[in-house]
Structure 1
Amino acid sequence: MERFQAGAHWGGRKESAAECAARAEEFFRLLAGCDPAYSRWFEYAYSRKNALRLPFTPTAETFLRFFERKKYRLGRDAFYFDAWTGQEQTGRGGLLNLTCGSGTPFYANGCLLHLPREGAAAQRVLTVPVLKQVVRAMVLAWEPDRCAVVSEEDPSARRVVEADGACIGWLMYFSRAHGRVPSLPRSVRVEPVEELGTLIILTPEPFSPGNPAHAELAGRVRERLERAGLLPARAG
Structure 2
Amino acid sequence: MPDKYYVGAYWGPRKETALECARRAELFFHMLARCDPAFAQWYRAGRGFPRELPGWPVRPEMKELETLFLKGRSRTDVGKEVIEDLGFHQMVWNAKKDAIHVHLTCGGYSPWGGPNSCLLDPLWPSAVWERLVRSPVLAEVLTSVATAWDPDFAMASSSEMVDLMEKDRFEVRVGWLTYLSRRLGTLPPLPAPVRIEPVGELGWLLVLSPEPMTASNPEHVAFTARIRELLDRAGLIERPQPEPANT
TM category (shorter chain) comes to: 0.7 to 0.9
**2:94 counterpart residue number:** 85
Does the Cα contact within 8 Å between 1:171 and 1:202 map onto a contact in 2?
yes
CA shift, 1:166, in A, is 4.1
CA shift, 1:170, in A, is 0.5
CA shift, 1:54, in A, is 1.6
1:151 to 1:53, Cα distance in 2 relative to 1, 3 A:
closer
Residue identity matched to 2:129: A
* CA distance in 1 between partners of 2:222 and 2:198 (Å): 25
- State which drifts further: 122-131 or 111-120: 111-120
* CA distance in 1 between partners of 2:3 and 2:203 (Å): 27
Q: 1:96 aligns with which of 86, 98, 102?
A: 102
Q: 2:214 aligns with which of 197, 208, 220?
A: 208
CA shift, 1:52, in A, is 2.1
**1:26 counterpart residue number:** 27
Deviations 1:136-167 (A, max 9, x none): 0101100111000110223539x8xx971342
Q: 1:194 aligns with which of 184, 188, 200?
A: 200
1:53 to 1:151, Cα distance in 2 relative to 1, 3 A:
closer
Identical aligned pairs, as a percentage? 38
* CA distance in 2 between partners of 1:211 and 1:163 (Å): 24
Does the Cα contact within 8 Å between 2:9 and 2:119 map onto a contact in 1?
yes
**2:58 counterpart residue number:** 56
* CA distance in 1 between partners of 2:13 and 2:51 (Å): 36
CA shift, 1:51, in A, is 7.3
1:155 to 1:220, Cα distance in 2 relative to 1, 3 A:
closer
1:11 to 1:163, Cα distance in 2 relative to 1, 3 A:
farther
1:168 to 1:44, Cα distance in 2 relative to 1, 3 A:
farther
- Name the SS of the counterpart of 1:73 in structure 2: coil
The 5-angstrom pairing of residues 163-202 of structure 1 reads: 164-202=170-208
Unaligned runs of at least 5 residues, structure 1: none
* CA distance in 2 between partners of 1:88 and 1:57 (Å): 21
* CA distance in 2 between partners of 1:50 and 1:44 (Å): 14
**1:42 counterpart residue number:** 43
* CA distance in 2 between partners of 1:128 and 1:135 (Å): 10
Unaligned runs of at least 5 residues, structure 2: 75-82, 240-247
Q: Does 1:73 align with 2:73?
A: yes
- State which drifts further: 191-200 or 147-156: 147-156
* CA distance in 1 between partners of 2:200 and 2:145 (Å): 13
TM-score, scaled to structure 1: 0.87
CA shift, 1:185, in A, is 1.3
